[in-house]
Amino acid sequence: MIIQVENYKRHKDMLKKGPYIKKMDLALSCRILLSMTPREMRTARVTWEMLEQWDISPEELFRRAGETSRKKLPPIIEPMSDVIRGFLIEEFLETAGADEALKKAEYEYKKLFGGEAEKLPEIYVLSNELRVQGASVVFYTDVLRSFAEETESDLILLPSSVHEWLILLDSPAYDLKNLEAMVREANTQVVMAEEVLSGHIYRYSRERNELFRADVVKTLDKNGKNC
């Protein structure tokens, strides 16, 4: 069993068929892993009937699914620039040798951004190693905390789809409303309806070790607790 994440409002009727954990406007549910190849994964939702047959609690179900998810679908965070270069190299390898494919990919990457690639702020992609249903890794223990500590920054997270998140290092230069508008536009024009995760953006606070929706204002009392 593994854990997957989906939009709560879009899938609330299906979610009721089995145990789930609501996280903001998202929901975590458990799936039976039917098959997995280097390019795809087939799963089936765990229902209340299955849970009764197995005679285990929802808490134990999620504990086991969490352990299996981390083992079979470990998290990966990589720069978007590396992801794009990887796609380009793979494309050119179909007609060229390794060295030539590498050179062509680098040329096309720089051409893609009009020579400004090095000046752009880095965007990171968060998913699992399979890059399928990888958005759930954001809830793996310590994944965000470790990356935030490594980069010494709070994080802004954009839900690309159920397969991945895009991460920006937090900065006052970012207009959060514009970022959210970009996410919603992508949801309607690029992402397939069944793969839309959310129309909101999220922030991760290093100080609080907490992920929350960016449009939900958080304040702290004198003891550092949420008010």
Question: Would you place residue 8 in the very low, low, confident or very high pLDDT band (cuts 50, 70, 90)?
Answer: very high
Give 173: exposed, middle or buried? Use CB within 10 Å, 0-12, 13-18, 19+: exposed
More confident residue, 208 or 215: 208
pLDDT in tens, 10-64: 999 999 999 999 999 999 999 999 999 888 899 999 999 999 999 999 999 999 9
The rounded mean pLDDT for the chain is 86
Element (H, E) at 54: helix 48-54
Q: Specify the pLDDT at position 226.
A: 46
Cβ–Cβ < 8 Å for 61, 1: yes
pLDDT in tens, 151-174: 999 999 999 999 999 999 998 888
Distances in Å between the alpha carbon of 38 and those of 68, 124, 127? 17, 22, 14
Q: Where are the domains of the chain?
A: 1-73, 78-119
* Exposure b/e, 8-29, CB count within 10 A at least 16 = b: bebbeeebeebbbbeeebbbbb
Record the pTM: 0.81
Residue 37, both tokens: 């190849």
Q: What are phi and psi of 174, to 5 degrees?
A: -85, 130
